[in-house]
Structures are given as C-alpha cells and as structure tokens.
Amino acid sequence: MKITIRKTDYLRILEYALSERPDEACGLIAGEDREDGVREIKKVYLLTNTDHTSEHFSIDPREQLAAVKDMRVNALTPLGNWHSHPESPSRPSEEDKRLANDPGASYLILSLQDEEHPVLNAFHIEGDEKDRSVRREELVILE
Ligand SMILES: [Zn+2]
C-alpha cells in the first residue's frame, strides 16, 4: 500500500507541529482512495490537541466534526489522522496502538526528535485491542 502527500501539505503539518511544541500536534487527512491502491492525501486538517501534553493527543471533537463535514462538502474520503511526537521516534506508542480503532485508516506520525531531520511515517494498525499489528505504509512526499 502506498500513500502520497503533497509537499505543501507536509510543510503545513511540520510548521504547525513545530509551533505546538512541547505538546503533540494532531489533525486529520482526507483525499482519495484510488482503485490502483494508492491513497492520495488532498487535504490536511490542523486541529487542536485538547490533551495539551507531549505524551498523547485527543482531537478536539467539535473541530473534528467540522473537518468531517468539510470532507463531505468537498467529496473527500477520510483517510486517517496524523500527530506529532515532539521527543520520540516516528512509530506508534503503546497508547497510539491501543487507540487505533480503524484498521482501514492511515496513521501518520511526525517525529521532531531530531529537529534538523523530521521524520514522517505512515502506518496501518490492525488486530484487536490487546494484539495490534503495525504495518508501515509506503509514504511518498510529492514535490
Ligand atoms: Zn503517538
């Protein structure tokens, strides 16, 4: 499986995540689930982490609802979410795995651990709550 994001959208996520430090930043991704198996992100949503910590996130429910409405209006498919790890690597934490309830979603994690070299990875998280399996998805940043 492959997922693409435009560089401008990647940079928006990066700038927002940097500005929200030391807290985790979060949001949603939407676009097109193409028949050739490529998931194309066409819009990213930068939303409020109501937890306001560097350890985990909860997306503001009202902002989430508004984003989902916007996806509907613009005929975009919800593809998953993204969040930042200000001080840890770009892979799902135990809590991220526990909370990943949508096996069809792409979970993007941006690590700012090395500020000079931010790392963005995409994951699929499947299986039941006690035995999740994590799969890396090929992520391509389009110039
Ligand atoms: Zn996380």
Question: 70 CA to middle of ligand 1, Å?
Answer: 25
57: confidence class by pLDDT, cuts 50, 70, 90: very high
Question: 56 CA to middle of ligand 1, Å?
Answer: 6
Residues within 5 Å of ion ligand 1, judged at the Cβ atom: 93, 96
Instruction: Quote the CA–CA distance of 16 and 19 in Å, as a whole number.
Output: 5
Question: 74 CA to middle of ligand 1, Å?
Answer: 28
In this predicted structure, what is the pLDDT of residue 130? 84
Token pair in block for residue 22: 């030391």
Question: 35 CA to middle of ligand 1, Å?
Answer: 29
In this predicted structure, what is the pLDDT of residue 78? 98
Question: 120 CA to middle of ligand 1, Å?
Answer: 12
Question: 6 CA to middle of ligand 1, Å?
Answer: 22
Q: Tell me if 41 sits within 8 A of 4, measured CB to CB.
A: yes
pLDDT at 107 over 90: yes
**All residues at 6 or more sequence positions from 15 whose CB lies less than 8 Å from its CB, including other chains:** none
117-142 per-position pLDDT tens digit: 999 999 999 998 888 999 999 999 99
Question: 1 CA to middle of ligand 1, Å?
Answer: 21
Instruction: Quote the CA–CA distance of 100 and 109 in Å, as a whole number.
Output: 13
Question: 75 CA to middle of ligand 1, Å?
Answer: 28
Instruction: Give the distance from CA 143 to its chain's centroid.
Output: 19
Question: 82 CA to middle of ligand 1, Å?
Answer: 9
Residue 77 phi, psi dihedral angles, 5° rounding: -90, 130
**All residues at 6 or more sequence positions from 7 whose CB lies less than 8 Å from its CB, including other chains:** 141, 142, 143
In this predicted structure, what is the pLDDT of residue 129? 83
Mean residue pLDDT across the chain: 96
When pLDDT is averaged across residues 109-119 and rounded to a whole number, the result is 96
In this predicted structure, what is the pLDDT of residue 142? 97
When pLDDT is averaged across residues 79-107 and rounded to a whole number, the result is 96
